[in-house]
Chains A and B, each alone.
Chain A
Amino acid sequence: SAVISQKPSRDICQRGTSLTIQCQVDSQVTMMFWYRQQPGQSLTLIATANQGSEATYESGFVIDKFPISRPNLTFSTLTVSNMSPEDSSIYLCSGGTGTNYGYTFGSGTRLTVV
C-alpha cells in the first residue's frame, strides 16, 4: 500500500492567517482525500482531491476556506484560510487506488490557532 508523507506535523498559527498542508505519496494513487479529526472524535471528510480539477467538497466545507490542489497523482495540498480558533484540529490526508484495498493515511497535522 502507498506511503504518505504529510507536513507539517504540527503548527501554532495566529488567527486570520493561512496554513498550507502538504501530502506526498510514494506511488501514484487514484484517490486522495482530506479529513479533519477533533480530539477524541472520529474523522470528518472535508473533500475529495481531484487530479487536475477542482476538489469535491462535503457539506459544511467550502473552497474559499479550504482550497485544495492536486496537480498530479502523487501530491496534494490543503490550505486552511483565514484561520480562527475553531479551526484547531488534526488534519489528515488519505489516499489509495480505490480498488480492493483500503486507503492509507498521512501522519496528520495538528493545528492550533491562537
Chain B
Amino acid sequence: QKEVEQNSGPLSVPEGAIASLNCTYSDRVSQSFFWYRQYSGKSPELIMSIYSNGDKEDGRFTAQLNKASQYVSLLIRDSQPSDSATYLCATRTGRRALTFGSGTRLQVQP
C-alpha cells in the first residue's frame, strides 16, 4: 500500500467550476499535510498547508483534513485554465522529509 494515494486523473472541469482533489494517507502519525502545484517542466510550488482537522481557506483554495479518516482534500473554486497542472499531496511527520503522492493532473477547460 502506498503511503500517500491520489487518483492520477486527469480530472477535467470546465472553467468556473469547483475542482475537488482527494488524497488518502496510511501513516497515522502524520502531522502536517501539504498541497503542491506543479506545472509541466517546473518544480513543485507550495499552495496550501493544513495541520488540524477541518477546513482552511486561502483565496480560491480550501484544504480539508480528516485525520480519523486519514483523508485530505483540496477544493479549487472558480477554476481557471491557469490552474491546469499536477497537484501533489504530501504528508510529513515532525521535521522529516515530505512523502508525496503520485499527483492528480487537473485540466480546466475554457
Partners in one complex: yes
A-B contact count (CB 8 A): 50
Binds B, one of A14-22, A69-77, A79-87, A96-104: A96-104
Q: State the majority secondary structure of interface residues on B.
A: loop
List the B residue with the shortest CB-CB distance to A100: B51
In chain A, what residue has the closest Cβ to B102? A42
Residues from chain B with a CB closer than 8 A to the CB of A24 are: none
A107 part of interface (Cβ distance < 8 Å): yes
Cα–Cα, bound, A104→B36 (Å) = 10
B1 to chain A, nearest CB (A): 15
Number of interface residues of A (CB under 8 A): 21
Q: How many Å from the CB of A34 to the closest CB on chain B? A: 9
The DSSP consensus for interface residues of chain A is loop
Chain B interfacial residues counted at CB < 8 A:
22
Contact of B97 among A33, A107, A108 (CB under 8 A): A33
Q: CB-CB < 8 A to A33: which residues of B?
A: 97-98
Render B34-64 as a binary contact track against A, CB cut-off 8 A, 1 for contact: 1010000011111001010000000000000
